[in-house]
Amino acid sequence: MKKRKASTWSNMTSAAMTSKNKMTRTTLLLLSGVFGCSIAAAPDLSNWSQIGDAEIDIDNNSASNSGPREASNYIVSTDTYEDVRLSVEFLIDAATNSGIFIRCSDSKSVSPETCYEINIWDEHENPDHRTGSIVLMAPPVAHVNTVGEWSTMQIEAVDDLIVVEVNGVETVRFRNDKFASGHVALQFGAGGSLQFRNVQVEAL
């Protein structure tokens, strides 16, 4: 199956799309507040779509979410990826429930049943589902506390192997072939304060 190149969304301090060794990388920056999400330097959302009740308005190279805090909303890539590497910085509080989804088979229906969801939820009542786990599939082998400080999650999916690291600590190394390719999605608005920045998506 032919791999899709990474899409271009925003251009911060570096080029939005650069190619090296036949790999294409997308860099974008996302910032969100307690009640929503703003996307800095996003000229349009032509390569991404939004799911949920939030209204994302673009004004002066930013976008804001006016949706309800309790609603679960997603920003989903238009492009699909097979082998992929992601790097995401995030800032959460103790109430935050979020996640990063890869290989989503249906861009209109993002869930652990249609994607691999790597959880961002330090205070989940079940430690098997806390930050760095793959929801419903793989518990974290290490517990990394991320509340209140900028943290980095790195995800690499090559063939049937998925490796997750949080702040340089490996939390999951898991083999599964349920989803071979699909969209990337970021979840926001399910509770708590959440900020994303320096999101890099690289097709391998």
Q: What's the pLDDT tens digit per position in 154-185?
A: 999 999 999 999 999 999 999 999 999 999 99
Residue 14 confidence (pLDDT):
27
CATH of the domain at 162: 2.60.120.560
Question: Does 4 fall in a domain?
Answer: no
**Residue scoring higher pLDDT (37 or 102):** 102
Residue 72 confidence (pLDDT):
67
User: Does residue 70 carry a pLDDT above 60?
Assistant: no
Split at pLDDT 50, 70, 90, the class of 44 is very low
Decide: 30 and 196 in contact? Cβ < 8 Å: yes
Question: Does 92 fall in a domain?
Answer: yes
User: Residue 177 to residues 5, 42, 162, 182: CA-CA distances in angstroms?
Assistant: 21, 34, 10, 13
Question: Does 181 fall in a domain?
Answer: yes
Decide: 152 and 166 in contact? Cβ < 8 Å: yes
User: Does residue 131 carry a pLDDT above 70?
Assistant: yes
User: Does residue 37 carry a pLDDT above 80?
Assistant: no
Residue 175, domain extent = 17-203
Range in 1-15, 33-47, 68-82, 89-103 the model is least confident about:
1-15
Question: Does 142 fall in a domain?
Answer: yes
Question: Does 147 fall in a domain?
Answer: yes
User: Does residue 63 carry a pLDDT above 90?
Assistant: no
The total number of structural domains that make up the chain: 1
pLDDT tens-digit map of 105-118: 999 999 999 999 99
pLDDT tens-digit map of 13-27: 222 222 222 333 444
Question: Does 85 fall in a domain?
Answer: yes
User: Does residue 36 carry a pLDDT above 50?
Assistant: no
